[in-house]
Structure 1
Amino acid sequence: MALPATIHTFTVNLADVDRGVYDELSLRVARHPSETETYMMTRVLAYCLEFQEGIAFSDGLSQTDEPAVLVRDLTGSITAWIEVGAPDADRIHFASKAADRVAVYTHRDPAKVLASWAGKKIHRSDHVELYSFDDGLVEGAVAALDRRNTMTLSVTERQLYIELNGAHLSGAVHEHRIE
Structure 2
Amino acid sequence: MAMGSTMHTFEVDLADVDRGVYEQFTLRVARHPSETAPFMVTRVLAFCLEYTEGVVFGGGVSTVDEPAVMVRDLTGSLSAWIEVGAPDAARLHSGSKSAERAVVYTHRDPEKVLANWRGKTIHRASEIPLLAVDPALVAGAADALERRNALSVSRTEGQLYLDLNGTNLSGALVEHRISEPSA
* Same-fold status (TM-score > 0.5): yes
* 2:73 counterpart of 1:40: no
Q: Indicate the residue corresponding to 2:58 in structure 1.
A: 58
Task: Give the RMSD, CA atoms, in angstroms.
Answer: 0.7
Q: Indicate the residue corresponding to 1:160 in structure 2.
A: 160
Paired letter, 1:29: V
Which digits, 9 at most, give the CA deviation of each residue in 1:97-130, with x for residues without a partner? 1001000001110000000001001111111110
Contact 2:153 2:160 in 1 (8 A): yes
Output the CA distance in 2 between the equivalents of 1:45 and 1:25: 13
Q: Indicate the residue corresponding to 2:120 in structure 1.
A: 120
> How far has the Cα of 1:135 moved from its partner?
3.2
TM-score by length of 2: 0.96
The list of structure 1 runs, each at least 4 consecutive aligned residues, that deviate by more than 4 angstroms after superposition, is none
> How far has the Cα of 1:58 moved from its partner?
1.1
The secondary structure found in structure 1 opposite 2:4 is coil
Output the CA distance in 2 between the equivalents of 1:134 and 1:83: 17
Output the CA distance in 1 between the equivalents of 2:145 and 2:173: 20
Output the CA distance in 1 between the equivalents of 2:48 and 2:156: 14
The secondary structure found in structure 2 opposite 1:108 is coil
Aligned identity (percent) is 63
Which consecutive residues of structure 1, in runs of 5 or more, have no partner in the other structure?
none
Query: For residues 99-138 of structure 1, what are the structure 2 equivalents within 5 Å?
Result: 99-138=99-138
Output the CA distance in 2 between the equivalents of 1:52 and 1:132: 21
The aligned length equals 179
Paired letter, 2:128: V
The secondary structure found in structure 1 opposite 2:3 is coil
Contact 2:105 2:131 in 1 (8 A): yes
TM-score by length of 1: 0.98
The secondary structure found in structure 2 opposite 1:136 is helix
Contact 2:8 2:31 in 1 (8 A): yes
Q: Indicate the residue corresponding to 1:30 in structure 2.
A: 30
The secondary structure found in structure 2 opposite 1:4 is coil
The secondary structure found in structure 2 opposite 1:52 is coil
> How far has the Cα of 1:53 moved from its partner?
0.3
